[in-house]
Amino acid sequence: MKKVLVATEKPFASAAVAQIKEVLDKANYELVLLEKYTDNADFLKAVEDVDALIVRSDKVTKEVIDAAKNLKIVVRAGAGYDNLDLNACTKANIVAMNTPGQNSNAVAELAIGMAVMIARGNYNGKAGTELRGKKIGIHAYGNVGRYVGEIAKGFGMEVFAFDPFVNDEHIKKDGVTPVSSVEELYSNCQYLSLNIPSNEKTKKSVGFDLISKMPKGATLINTARKEVINEEELLKVFSEREDFRYVSDIAPDCKDEITGKYEGRFFFTPKKMGAQTAEANINAGVAAANQIVDFIENGNETFKVN
Ligand code: 3PG
């Protein structure tokens, strides 16, 4: 019997676990559950004899791969796979996959939700501002970016996008205006939704030069990764622009230099919350389980990322 470990430091909703189990039961696979672990040693132990692994943002390091003697496939139930050591997976002949698009709506709803929250002064009782009529720029028009655009249009915002990998016609079809450079996007838009992945090229790529181009009342919304921000330069923007506000799904490393000093101009989730809905957990978790079964039974490698 094949064993599938679901290792989630931040657990899926119980309905998602139940549905993952249904998929695995049907294939006659065993589900092994490791939730809310605080000691990585527990992860290393649990992975020892499993054939497949499902994780969220859990770090699948070379140490984990080395400990996983039977592992054939790891699926990141989500979009960003910056938590997987792809080289270690490839060297060990392990297929790595993600589940693109499955949790995107949840992330986009949080992005706009945080925009509303900061526009209303974090609900402090004082008069805030509205999103209607404002311009929002979408930095990377992928699955999350598209949903952000759709929701923003519902709010009556003007939507712009920059993505060198997506055809302009495709963007226009959604009623979104493509712009030809990232600088143009930031210069145009009061709200900016950051949806780029974190990789060697994008880490620290959003800093003073870009952010300070934003018009008055600038709000940067980060539901991507904290690593894509140049934090030293973020602090410079905070100190030089009183109108600048920053909302982020999980706090930056420089959080202590912001809180207390720039009250009302930021909001940080206490834990990465973007994909933390029952719907997103079910979509991503079930997709991961199905991809594992389809890979083991039929060799389907559609969502392979290594
Ligand atoms: C993703 O990359 O899919 C999101 O950041 C969600 O991450 P999570 O599964 O840790 O919530």
- Using H for helix, E for strand and C for coil, what is the string for the chain? CCEEEEEECCCCCHHHHHHHHHHHHHCCCEEEEEECCCCHHHHHHHHCCCCEEEECCCCECHHHHHHCCCCCEEEECCCCCCCECHHHHHHCCCEEEECCCCCHHHHHHHHHHHHHHHHCCCCCCCCCCCCCCCEEEEECCCHHHHHHHHHHHHCCCEEEEECCCCCHHHHHHCCCEECCCHHHHHHHCCEEEECCCCCCCCCCCECHHHHCCCCCCCEEEECCCHHHECHHHHHHHHHHCCCCEEEECCCCCCHHHHCCCCCCCEEECCCCCCCCCHHHHHHHHHHHHHHHHHHHHHCCCCCECC
Q: Which pLDDT score, from 0 to 100, does residue 150 have?
A: 98
Q: Which domains does the chain have, with CATH numbers?
A: 3-102+277-298 (3.40.50.720), 104-268 (3.40.50.720)
Tens digit of pLDDT per residue, the chain (306 long)? 999 999 999 999 999 999 999 999 999 999 999 999 999 999 999 999 999 999 999 999 999 999 999 999 999 999 999 999 999 999 999 999 999 999 999 999 999 999 999 999 999 999 999 999 999 999 999 999 999 999 999 999 999 999 999 999 999 999 999 999 999 999 999 999 999 999 999 999 999 999 999 999 999 999 999 999 999 999 999 999 999 999 999 999 999 999 989 999 999 999 999 999 999 999 999 999 999 999 999 999 999 999
CA angle 251, 157, 124 (to 5 degrees): 50
Q: Is 139's C-beta closer than 6 angstroms to any atom of ligand 1? A: no
Rounded distance, CA 70 to CA 94, Å?
A: 10
Q: Which atom of ligand 1 is nearest to the CA of 98?
A: 3
Q: Is 202's C-beta closer than 6 angstroms to any atom of ligand 1? A: no
pTM of the model: 0.97
Nearest CA to ligand 1 atom 6: 275
Q: Which pLDDT score, from 0 to 100, does residue 129 have?
A: 97
Q: Which atom of ligand 1 is nearest to the CA of 223?
A: 5
Q: Which atom of ligand 1 is nearest to the CA of 79?
A: 3
Q: Which pLDDT score, from 0 to 100, does residue 63 have?
A: 98
Tell me, in angstroms, the distance from the centre of ligand 1 to residue 80's CA.
7
